[in-house]
């Protein structure tokens, strides 16, 4: 019981830290996702918050992930905007979200979560490093008080036409002094609190550094009031304030099921289901690698949890959800012990919507940006690049190109680039390692490996074609467990024709167990 109570305390604190990180992300993603022209009566901030609540409570309770946190994802923003535009209303879009959830349930039932296991480690580590670099680059303007781009954007090309680097250039010339001071002190505080002196101190050991940084930012912001350093409201968390409980109904949107007659609703649903499932599975692989206790998340169960979450989110007017690396990383950094931390963060989002908006609106975005920047730094430490370099070019190059791809496009395109490069190295290695050669007493002995596929055809064909006339060749399949019919035909043809033309003494041995 004491251990359980200890875990609950740690999970409450971890949930609080995740809540502080997730709150502005939910607001920013919600605002950006509903930035659609010519569509009347669109919600703005609440869809993101509602998705965060569902991701925390509903998915958190069903998921088998110990550290994963779900909610609205920046990677879905362009899909959401184009889908709302295509369908003509947010209510019709919500029907697609519900259908996407049902499709994810089907994915989970057929155990399709296993596909995540086929993504190479070099690509997953590249994705983590890219997310870290993106956080540093994207949150730096918020650290300086330049908030033209929404909090939580991850795309290289922004909705306002600028990109990650042009935004950085603007922020250096349009900073806000009070935010700069809060941001600098926040980063300094995180660095100091990570030192052994503070980590050994019982009080600081119990309280996550992110929580201390937020409280510090609030205090400094209040001290700056009335001076030239005062932080304006646009540089603070801007949670919508409901004057009465009755106003909740005015900001909620519900699905219009008459849209089921529109075939485009199903196209959108399939798109959301595929993209959200891929992002979730990639995040699961990444967060499992970050988890200090190395728990393994059941991926098909995660797809089922995400499906139920998207059904709930669509029913109450929320955005589609996925598991998200940034929030999960914050959870791990805060010392999470069980998945209840995720649930606690969802409950805190409910309280934020109903009871605490005025209090939370004192939190400077610069403090939250500092937390995310330091999370980004931990994801992309120089030691990671050194580690991947020493593993060889077949690991390092896919790792680096995944980073470049994610930075200059988006998460899924970057992963796709990394996968293609990894497949190239796998094929090249396959060409090289399908047999061994040795020469004894003038006989070239070729010993096939355990698996010989059509991919090895070129290598074997080249070796035989380059064999000297009047030589002796023996091909031994004693180690071989599986061989493609293409290879068998190649060897038989060479035995009948090629070896005869070149007067080569050619022998196949230990093939009996392979021939049908």
Return the HEC string of 437-453.
EEEECCEEEEEECCEEC
**Which pLDDT does position 33 carry in this prediction?**
85
Overall domain count for the chain? 2
Query: Does one domain contain both 339 and 446?
Result: no
Query: What is the Cα–Cα distance from 66 to 379, expressed in whole angstroms?
Result: 19
Nearest CA among 3, 11, 148 for reference residue 66: 11
Pairing of strands 443-448, 435-440: antiparallel
| Contact residues for 261 (Cβ-Cβ < 8 A; gap 6+) | none
Any domain includes 390: no
Query: Does one domain contain both 52 and 125?
Result: yes
Nearest CA among 90, 368, 75 for reference residue 238: 368
Query: Does one domain contain both 242 and 330?
Result: yes
Neighbours of 479 (CB within 10 A): 13
Query: Does one domain contain both 332 and 471?
Result: no
Q: Which two tokens stand for residue 257?
A: 């099921």
**Which pLDDT does position 6 carry in this prediction?**
61
Average confidence (pLDDT) over 80-87: 91
| Contact residues for 338 (Cβ-Cβ < 8 A; gap 6+) | 7, 11, 66
Pairing of strands 69-72, 321-324: antiparallel
Residue 291 φ then ψ, to 5°: -60, 120
Query: Does one domain contain both 346 and 484?
Result: no
Compute the Cα dihedral for 245, 250, 253, 259 and give only its sign.
Answer: positive
pLDDT at residue 117 above 50?
yes
**Which pLDDT does position 160 carry in this prediction?**
67
Query: What is the Cα–Cα distance from 119 to 26, expressed in whole angstroms?
Result: 28
DSSP 96-160: HHHHHHHHHHHHHHTTGGGGGGGS-HHHHHHHHHHHHHHHHHHHHHHHTT--SSPTT---SB-TT
Query: What is the Cα–Cα distance from 511 to 488, expressed in whole angstroms?
Result: 9
Residue 436 φ then ψ, to 5°: -120, 150
Query: Does one domain contain both 39 and 126?
Result: yes
Query: Does one domain contain both 376 and 469?
Result: no
Any domain includes 400: no
Helix axes 411-432, 457-465, angle to 10 degrees: 30
Any domain includes 335: yes
pLDDT (tens digit, 9 = 90+) per residue, 315-359? 999 999 999 999 999 999 988 999 999 999 999 999 888 888 888
Residues in the chain: 516
Query: What is the Cα–Cα distance from 54 to 311, expressed in whole angstroms?
Result: 10
Q: Which two tokens stand for residue 315?
A: 């029913």
pLDDT (tens digit, 9 = 90+) per residue, 360-408? 889 999 999 999 999 999 999 888 999 999 999 999 999 999 999 999 9
Any domain includes 72: yes
Query: Does one domain contain both 160 and 19?
Result: yes
Any domain includes 126: yes
Query: What is the Cα–Cα distance from 399 to 385, expressed in whole angstroms?
Result: 9
The mean predicted confidence, pLDDT, of the chain is 88
Any domain includes 392: no
Any domain includes 50: yes
Any domain includes 445: yes
Query: Does one domain contain both 375 and 437?
Result: no
Task: Identify the band that residue 78 occupies on the pLDDT scale cut at 50, 70 and 90.
Answer: confident
Query: Does one domain contain both 211 and 104?
Result: yes
For the chain, give the percent of residues with pLDDT over 70.
Answer: 93
Nearest CA among 491, 183, 192 for reference residue 365: 183
Residue 189 φ then ψ, to 5°: -65, -40
**Which pLDDT does position 211 carry in this prediction?**
87
CATH number assigned to the domain comprising residue 459: 3.30.750.24
CA 325 to chain centre: 5
CA 259 to chain centre: 31
Query: Does one domain contain both 376 and 440?
Result: no
Range of the domain at 96: 2-350+363-381
DSSP letter at 230 equals P
Query: Does one domain contain both 29 and 116?
Result: yes
pLDDT (tens digit, 9 = 90+) per residue, 264-323? 999 999 999 999 999 999 999 999 999 999 898 999 999 999 999 999 999 999 999 999
- Asked if residue 21 lies in contact with residue 326, where contact means CB atoms within 8 angstroms, the answer is yes
Task: Identify the band that residue 159 occupies on the pLDDT scale cut at 50, 70 and 90.
Answer: low
């Amino acid at each position: 019981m004491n251990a359980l109570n200890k875990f609950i305390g740690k999970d409450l604190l971890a949930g609080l830290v995740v809540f502080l990180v997730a709150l502005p992300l939910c607001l920013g993603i919600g605002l950006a996702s509903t930035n659609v022209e010519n569509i009347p009566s669109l919600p703005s901030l609440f869809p993101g918050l509602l998705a965060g609540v569902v991701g925390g409570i509903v998915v958190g309770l069903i998921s088998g992930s110990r550290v994963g946190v779900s909610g609205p994802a920046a990677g879905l923003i362009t899909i959401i905007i184009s889908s709302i535009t295509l369908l003509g209303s947010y209510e019709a879009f919500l029907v697609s979200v519900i259908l996407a959830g049902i499709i994810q349930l089907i994915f989970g039932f057929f155990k399709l979560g296993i596909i995540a296991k086929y993504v190479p480690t070099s690509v997953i580590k590249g994705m983590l490093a890219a997310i870290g670099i993106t956080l540093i680059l994207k949150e730096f303007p918020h650290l300086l008080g330049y908030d033209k781009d929404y909090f939580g954007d991850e795309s290289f090309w922004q909705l306002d036409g600028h990109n990650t680097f042009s935004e950085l250039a603007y922020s250096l010339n349009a900073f806000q002094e009070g935010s700069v001071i809060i941001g600098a002190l926040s980063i300094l505080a995180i660095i100091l609190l990570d030192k052994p002196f503070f980590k050994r101190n019982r009080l600081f050991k119990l309280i996550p550094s992110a929580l201390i940084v937020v409280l510090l930012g609030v205090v400094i912001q209040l001290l700056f009031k009335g001076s030239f350093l005062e932080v304006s409201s646009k540089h603070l968390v801007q949670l919508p304030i409901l004057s009465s409980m009755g106003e909740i109904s005015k900001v909620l949107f519900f699905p219009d099921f008459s849209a089921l007659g529109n075939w485009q609703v199903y196209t959108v649903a399939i798109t959301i289901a595929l993209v959200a499932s891929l992002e979730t599975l990639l995040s699961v692989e990444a967060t499992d690698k970050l988890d200090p206790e190395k728990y393994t998340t059941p991926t098909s169960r995660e797809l089922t949890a995400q499906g139920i979450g998207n059904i709930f989110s669509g029913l109450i007017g929320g955005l589609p959800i996925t598991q998200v690396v940034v929030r999960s990383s914050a959870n791990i950094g805060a010392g999470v012990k069980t998945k209840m931390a995720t649930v606690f963060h969802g409950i805190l989002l409910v309280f934020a919507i109903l009871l605490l908006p005025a209090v939370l609106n004192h939190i400077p975005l610069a403090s939250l940006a500092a937390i995310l920047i330091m999370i980004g730094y931990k994801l992309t430490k120089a030691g990671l690049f050194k580690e991947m370099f020493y593993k060889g070019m077949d690991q390092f190059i896919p790792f680096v190109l995944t980073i470049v791809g994610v930075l200059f496009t988006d998460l899924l395109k970057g992963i796709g680039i990394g996968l293609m490069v990894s497949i190239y190295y796998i094929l090249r290695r396959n060409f090289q390692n399908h047999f061994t050669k040795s020469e004894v007493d003038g006989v070239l002995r070729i010993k096939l490996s355990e698996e010989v596929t059509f991919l090895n055809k070129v290598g074997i064909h080249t070796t035989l074609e380059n064999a000297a006339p009047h030589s002796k060749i023996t091909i031994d399949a004693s180690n071989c467990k599986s061989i493609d019919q293409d290879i068998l035909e190649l060897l038989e043809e060479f035995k009948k024709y090629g070896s005869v033309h070149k007067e080569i003494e050619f022998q196949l041995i230990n093939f009996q167990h392979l021939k049908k």
